[in-house]
Each structure stands twice: as C-alpha cells, then as structure tokens.
Structure 1
Amino acid sequence: MFFSKKVKRAFISLVAVISLASCGVAFTTPVHADATSSYHADQLNLDVKSAIAIDSNSGQILYAKNADKTLPIASMTKLVTVYLTLQAIKNKKLSWDQKVKPTAPIVKVANNTEYSNVPLKMGHSYTIKQLYQATLIESANGAAMLLGQTIAGSQKAFIDQMRQQVKKWGIEDAKIYTACGLPNGNLGKDAYPGINKNAENTMSAKDMAIIGQNLIKDFPEVLNTTKLAHLDFKDNGKTTKMANFNWMLKGLSQYDKAYPVDGLKTGTTDAAGACFIGTVEHSGARLITVVMGARHRDGTDPSRFIQTKKLMNFIFNQYRPITMTAGSQMNGAKTIEVTDGDNATTNLGLKNKTTIWDPADGKTLVAKLDKKSIEAPIVKDQTVGDYQFKSGNEKIVSLSNPNGMNVKAKALSANGKVNFFVRIWRWLFGGR
C-alpha cells in the first residue's frame, strides 16, 4: 500500500511520544512551605515573634518570619467577627439601623475597665452600625460579643460559625474560643464550654494575612471605618470618645506620611504581646502586613508600629509593584501551541488585572506558562493555564502556592478545531 511505510513510521513515533509522556519528569525544584514561613527573614531583623507581608490582591509573599507559627492573636480576632457581620448584612440577616440589647454577661465584660470597651448598659438599645464601629475603632470587647450574639443567638454558636468560616479560607490550625479575643475565662458565663479559662484564640501570621486579604477583597468598605482615628459613641445622651488603637493613622502618635496606613486591627494580651495587622496602598498596589508578639511594656509602648514601619520600609525599598491590565502579554509566554487547531498557536494574555511585586535585584521578571500545549477548540477569553513568575532564579511565591504564584492566562482569540480528515492528514504528514 502506498502509505504503509509512512503510516508505520508515524505509528512508531506516536508510541514513542506516548511512552516519553508517561515517564515525564518535572525538573523544577520545589520551594517547601517551611521556606516561605521565613521568606527573606535573614534580610530584615524584626523584633517580633512572627511577621508576614503580602500583596492584598494576589497573596504574593514579600517577607515572612516564623509565619506558620501559631500564636495568640488577641483582638485581631475581631476581624473575623466583623467579616461575619458584614456578610450577615449583605445577606439581609442584619441591617445597619437594627437595634439590639446586650445580655448581662456582655454588660459585665463591656463595663470592665481593664478591657478596651464602650460601656454598654442593661436595657439600652444599640444599632448594629454603632457596635461595628466600636468593635473596629475602640476594639470594644462587649460590642464584638453583642454582634456575635445577634448573628448566631449565643456566643458558642457564633464561635462555631467563626471556626467554620476560617476553615472555608483554608485555615486549619486556628483555635477560636471568643468573638473578641479575650481569654476564654474573661467572658464569665459566656466562656466557651469545656475549655480552660486561660485558653486564647491562636493563629499564625499567615492565617491573619489570609483573613485580612479576604476581608478587604469581599468587603473593601471596611477601610472606611478602620481609617477613622476618632469617633463618638453615643448612648442615651452620654458620649464616649473613641480613639483608634492603630496609632499609625493620621492624627495619632505613630502617624508617618511615608506609610499612609488605613487599617486594620491591633491586638494585645499578656500572652500575645503587642500584635498588629496593617494595610497601606503603595504605587497602585495594596500591602498587608502582620506583626505578632512585639514588645509590650505598657499601654504607651509603640513597638508594634515601629516594627511595622521597618517592615513596610523594607518592602518599599526591596520591591517595585508592577500592575498589568487584563490581556497584557508576558515576555517568554505570549503564545501556546494548539493541538488540532485551525492555527498552530494562540496568543495569550493575563486573565485579570494583576500586580506583581518585582524584586529590586536588577534581574528581569519573566513568566512561564504551566503547560506547552492545549487542545482545540478554544474560545476567546477562555482560561488556558497559569503563569508563574521568576526574577532571575528566584520564584515569586504566594500564600496559596509556596512553589510559585499562579496567575490565570487567557486566550486572546478563538481557535477552532480542524475536521477529521485534516487531523488524519496532519497525523500522517506532520503539522498541527
């Protein structure tokens, strides 16, 4: 037969290709999770137990020190309470002007002058908005508890909701006992049942960064409140002057125009030391930083903010954020081969607007696609794979992937599939 020798050679070649593919070996060297736990920690000496800095949108890790170590988080807990409050409002289970009354255990906590609070009173009514603002600005423990009580019906039920929520974010090592961050026993009758009175909420700096990232992504309006340095809390003709514990805000003692912080939350207990999750816009990107276990000599100690400034200064000097629009093409990965396509290749670009913090190391930032080819047909804007980035030999890593930060790539044009006879022709004589 005329095609017999060519068919035979094609068949042998096909078998060889399949055999090689089935025995393929990846030559990339993985970056283990423990490496990202202390990412560039040797380049900056922070006087804290743990820390992390990430891009708020992509989760790109820019710095980490013991970032996977679980530690007490104190009032940073309230960000989960606030998230569930905003979620309840979005789902119309609560409204901002809805009025609620505190229970006796909540009133007892709210009037303990050893804790940060606004003094809630028995029989008085408070709007959800008042409680939300007090929780974020004054770090009011009673207010946070009353939000949880209103959402879930009891402190225990709300804690269970908090636990479920952080698991949805992939946080598996969290221990949560209170809605406000106080040690369990400090809540009296509202303590989580069956748990030691000294038990405190614990998470890692990485966990807190994930919480901050999701809060800002899903409810960016939270920054309209976290940026407020002062606000009045009014209750039946009495006014309590609230002052934000985030002293890096404009008008407060640690404000510095080089670091125009607009959130998020402090936390302090004897076990936790001084903690702070902060956020700031820089060169069109948003940075989230977390410091945990900073020095806390007394209520006037600014150590956590000093360490946060050191961390932000390091990031600003060591990285240059590059924001690329959807559809932007990446050098080294502008096209992908298309099997059985009308055209042999298809042009690629970014699926979504993306910011990459490029290390200021003088090396070129390059992208690589996670696959070499894709099957036809392809429709325009179809996701076709993931980009991964390097600066020189250094991989760009993220919270979700310690072996590289995945950024979606899309097809910039359609590419149809050729018919059966053309595919047979190409199989016999070559071509895609």
Structure 2
Amino acid sequence: TKMMTEYLLLEAINEGRVKWDQEYSVSEYVWKISHDTNLSNVPLRRDGKYNIRELYQAMTIYSANAATIAIAETLAGSEENFVKMMNKKAEELGLKDFKFVNSSGLNNKDLKGFHHTGTEDEENVMSARATAMLASYLLNDYPEVLETTTIPKMTFREGTEDAIDMQNWNWMLPSLVYGFEGVDGLKTGTTEFAGYCFTGTAVRNGTRYITVIMNAKDESGKGTYKSRFDETKKMFNYAFSNFGKEELVPANYQVKGQKTLPVIKGKEDKVKIETKDPITMVVKNGEKENYKTKLVLDKEKLNDKGELTAPVKEGEKVGTLTIESSNEGDLEFLSEKGKNKIQVDVVAAEDIEKANWFVLMMRGIGSFFGNVFGGISSTVKGWF
C-alpha cells in the first residue's frame, strides 16, 4: 500500500503539484494515529508542521503510518479522496486483483474511527503479481525512490527534542542484520490479515530482480520478521544463480529466408531488411536455444503480391520481429511494457530510389512482349 502512496507522491513531485519543502499541518486524525505505539510511527505534534520530504522519509524508511496519511491528505485533501486516486492509478497501471481502502495498509479498524463509514473491517488487498507490477512501475518510473529505500538508518527531526532514530525495516540492506549483496529496496509490510510480507529488489551486474513474499512463515509454521527475509533470500539466490541477460537477436539481424523484400517501380527490384535494435532478455541458464524469432511484415506497406513500392528510404519501418518460445505456450511477462521489450522494428537497410519514367516504360514494354511470347509459346506447346 505504501508503495502506491510513494508512487503518487513522486508523480506529484515530478509534475510540480507538490514540493519537497512544502509544509503540512497535523490533523487530529494523523495526530492520534502517530501516537499509537502499537503501530510503526514517528510521533507528530498536534500543533506541529512537517515538510513533505521528512514525512516521505519516515514512510519509506520506517513505515510510519501517520506520516503516510499526512502525505495522502496533502495530495488529495483527505484520505478518502486519496484512496480514489490510488484505485484509479492502479487501474491505469493495469493492476489486477487489488482494492485500496486506505493509504497506509493498516486494517481500517486501527484508524481510530476515522475510516470511511461502513468499512471498519475492510483491508487493502493486492495479489503477489499486482504487487510486483506496482514495484516494477515504481522502480522504472521513479528510480529516485532508491535514494531513500537504501538508507539503513536515519534520525527523524534530528537536532530537536522530538528526534527519533529510524532503522529501515528492510533488514536485507547490505549493512543490516540479514544483509544481502545488491539489495536496495523496497518495502516491508505486516498485518494480522496479510502476515509478514516483503517486496524486495536487488541488482547485480546490471540485472535487477523483484521478489514478492506474502504471509512468510518459518519451519515451525510461525510468521516472523526473519522468515520473510529468509524466503526472499532463497528467491534471490535462485534468480541470480539460474538466470541471466542474453542477447537473443543482435542489431542489424536478418531473418534466414527473409533477408530481402521485393520492390516495384524502383532502380533495384529488392531491398535488404534487418532489425533496427538488438533484443536482450533474461533467460534461464542453458535455455537460450529455446527461443525463436517471428517476423511480422506491415501489410499496409505491401501490395497484394507482398511487394514494396519505391521509393524506399533507409531506416523505413517495414515490420516487427518478436521472440517466441520454441516450446509450447506463450512467454509470460509481468506487463505489456515488458512484453514490448522483446519486439523490435524491422527496417530497410538501404535506399531504393524510384526508377525514372523511361526505365519504367521500357520495363512495361518488356513485360508486355514477354507475356505475348509466353502466350504464343504456351499455344504452340498445346498443339503438340
């Protein structure tokens, strides 16, 4: 849930609707939540003012719930309006199996009576896939989030009597107790309903993975802070040990048997075609050969005989090349955005100028007599 709040805040910052140094005046709702010691929080003064950056840091590093609600109120005027923004954005991003009922991820019964009427027993719900998609969009659209998620420790209101030390709840950051090489985010979450959850991300040698763990339990079946990191470690070890980026198609690649397209009305009767860019994909070790290419030509560029009409410009798009699995079943991607990464343009590799009128006329004459002689030849053969 807080990842969606982070996304909407960073979007607003990027669009200039909110500024980092903008001040927030504490509402009664936020004040009451902030002083609940059973929840993850930084206590806020009822008459206090806090800038958006420090509230964002408290939310992102320390999972501070009241700070999260404060951000929601800043962006939408009320948490109720903000929840509408959350659900709308989730639909825009193509998430499935989700429902946001508040900005923090708490059960509505923990909101001190400030929940929307008739929703006391409701909770935010997201599938593992929807959570992974949200994490992917957050990292790709606003990578600056990592500047904060990588902070292992920070003091809230440092230098004041309200100073509070915040340790990042992501204990897999390299300097913390369950440190793992390459981990730089992203968000923990714990509720009675969902159990111990963690959306992790790690990068090594330019390859980044996202993992989602929900309701993690140890060997005895008990949910613990450690269990979610133990399960995440297993997933990261599996990913980094068994998968890697492979260039499946180089730039300027030509499909065997389809290296050219016929051209009419040109100085040349065919043109070379090739991929504009390479295709790189994460594949399981040793399975690079399990993929094949599929060329799809742009029918609007071709006549009924499958020919291009001159002039043809170098770099002109004539189709697309996509990667397919040699085995049964389609390749699966987290989103359409990911699927589009294995599709590249196929373009003309050279200019084909249009032939002048004289050449075209002579070709027409030659074609006419060729057809005449062909007809005579067929007729003569028919006599015998």
Report the TM-score when normalising by structure 1. Answer: 0.71
Verify: 1:358 aligned to 2:294, yes or no. no
Deviation at 1:222, TM superposition (A): 0.6
Number of the residue aligned with 1:380: 315
What one-letter code is carried by the residue in structure 1 that aligns with 2:286?
Answer: D
Aligned 8 A contact 2:195 2:223 in 1 = no
Q: Which whole-Å CA distance do the structure 2 matches of 1:218 and 1:427 have between them?
A: 58
What one-letter code is carried by the residue in structure 1 that aligns with 2:69?
Answer: M
SS for the counterpart of 1:147 is helix
Which moved further from structure 2: 101-110 or 368-377? 368-377
Aligned 8 A contact 1:332 1:366 in 2 = no
Number of the residue aligned with 2:374: none
- Aligned mate of 2:335, from 400, 406, 409: 400
Number of the residue aligned with 1:217: 140
SS for the counterpart of 1:384 is strand
- Aligned mate of 1:413, from 349, 365, 372: 349
Deviation at 1:397, TM superposition (A): 2.4
The 1:362/1:368 distance shift into structure 2, 3 A limit, reads closer
Structure 1: any 5+ residue segments left out of the alignment?
Answer: 1-76
Q: How many pairs are equivalent?
A: 350
Aligned 8 A contact 1:79 1:265 in 2 = yes
Number of the residue aligned with 1:56: none
The 1:114/1:383 distance shift into structure 2, 3 A limit, reads farther
Which moved further from structure 2: 245-254 or 298-307? 298-307
Number of the residue aligned with 1:246: 170
SS for the counterpart of 1:371 is strand
Query: What does residue range 29-428 of structure 1 map to in structure 2 within 5 Å?
Result: 77-195=1-119, 197-234=120-157, 236-257=160-181, 260-295=182-217, 301-322=225-246, 327=251, 329=253, 335=259, 337=261, 340=264, 342=266, 344-349=270-275, 351=277, 355-364=280-289, 366-372=291-297, 374=299, 375=301, 376=308, 377=312, 380=315, 382=317, 384-390=319-325, 396-400=331-335, 407-410=342-345, 411=347, 413=349
SS for the counterpart of 2:73 is helix
Aligned 8 A contact 1:111 1:120 in 2 = yes
The 1:367/1:151 distance shift into structure 2, 3 A limit, reads same
What one-letter code is carried by the residue in structure 1 that aligns with 2:216?
Answer: A
Q: Which whole-Å CA distance do the structure 2 matches of 1:151 and 1:143 have between them?
A: 13
Aligned 8 A contact 2:196 2:223 in 1 = no
Aligned 8 A contact 2:318 2:348 in 1 = no
SS for the counterpart of 2:117 is coil
Deviation at 1:185, TM superposition (A): 2.2
Deviation at 1:256, TM superposition (A): 2.8
Aligned 8 A contact 1:81 1:148 in 2 = yes
What one-letter code is carried by the residue in structure 2 that aligns with 1:184?
Answer: N
Q: Which whole-Å CA distance do the structure 1 matches of 2:171 and 2:185 have between them?
A: 10
Q: Which whole-Å CA distance do the structure 2 matches of 1:128 and 1:427 have between them?
A: 76
**CA deviation profile, 1:333-385 (whole Å, cap 9, x unmatched):** 9846466585634433254x754112213551544135156524566264832
What one-letter code is carried by the residue in structure 1 that aligns with 2:31?
Answer: V
What one-letter code is carried by the residue in structure 1 that aligns with 2:173?
Answer: L
Q: Which whole-Å CA distance do the structure 2 matches of 1:103 and 1:373 have between them?
A: 58
Q: Which whole-Å CA distance do the structure 2 matches of 1:224 and 1:341 have between them?
A: 58
**CA deviation profile, 1:374-422 (whole Å, cap 9, x unmatched):** 5245662648324124366675421236997762312263555857996
Aligned 8 A contact 1:275 1:292 in 2 = yes
What one-letter code is carried by the residue in structure 2 that aligns with 1:288?
Answer: I
Report the TM-score when normalising by structure 2. Answer: 0.80
Larger RCO: Structure 1 or Structure 2 (Cα < 8 Å, ≥ 6 residues apart)? Answer: 1
The 1:251/1:392 distance shift into structure 2, 3 A limit, reads same
Q: Which has the larger radius of gyration?
A: 2
Aligned 8 A contact 1:264 1:279 in 2 = yes
Aligned 8 A contact 1:333 1:367 in 2 = no
Which moved further from structure 2: 228-237 or 324-333? 324-333
